[in-house]
Amino acid sequence: MGILEKLRLDGKAALVTGGARGIGKSVAIALAEAGADAALVDTDIAEAEKAAEEISRLNTGVRIIAVKADVTDEAQVDTMTGEVLSAFGRLDIAFCNAGVCVNTPAEEMTLEQWKKVIDVNLTGVFLTARAAGRVMIARGGGSIINTASMSGHIVNYPQPQCAYNASKAAVIQLTKSLAVEWASKNVRVNSISPGYIGTDLVLNAPHLAPLIEKWESVTPVRRMGRPDELQAISVYLAGDSSAFTTGADFVIDGAFTCV
């Protein structure tokens, strides 16, 4: 079997949290193009349904569904997982991607703001990975991919975002912990740590324009990344070609963390 065949995901099923837009939507497209059925999970069900219809029009031959769920709610995550299983009959890939960021100085940050970031970025990843892991352990294997961030390795500047940075560092360690716990059960857990990615929400936010200029000026490649530049690593980690890869964090940041 050649390398391109090994990268195929035919017959597999995936869920993608935060799948309605941005990185989640882009990765869902890649998984579908590689042959996997995919569930786009999001709190914004209207946008998720719109994205699902758009991906379906690519005529990849796979099934794409939209599922509403708040990843911070244990019951909703369990129900969502059940809906995916009901739709596809299996779950092989979980891309735990939903996340939020609050740019507030630490001395001004409220406990509510702190908890919101930690609840979505860390607890949401844990709840989704746990639910998927239970299914995968019972089935004999699977792949979980968590969206961490270069912010789990460095402190971003000039924007103040201590809660986000802390949550993403924790996601990386959670990934490693789950990878070790589930290695003998054939469930692989890895993370990707993107640098600054030019999603539509970022590029179309007027208040971020000065920050984007700053970010690009200190990134060695002098630009932000694109969501589609995270597709190849996600497909690799999702499939059997990465069978020996678990507990790893892949930094994709245009060399930002190198300087």
Which of the residues are catalytic? 149, 164, 168
Strand ranges (DSSP E) for the chain? 13-17, 37-42, 64-68, 93-96, 142-147, 187-194, 249-252
Q: Which residues contact 72 (CB under 8 A, 6 or more apart)?
A: 119, 120, 123, 124, 127
> 234 and 31 in contact (C-beta within 8 Å)?
yes
Report d(CA 226, CA 193) in Å as an integer. 13
Helices 162-182, 124-139: axis angle to 10 degrees equals: 10
Report the SS3 class of residue 151.
helix
Tokens of 139: 């089935």
* Token pair of 180 as six digits: 């070790």
| Bridge-based pairing state of the strands 64-68 and 37-42 | parallel
The Cα 171–Cα 167 span in angstroms is 6
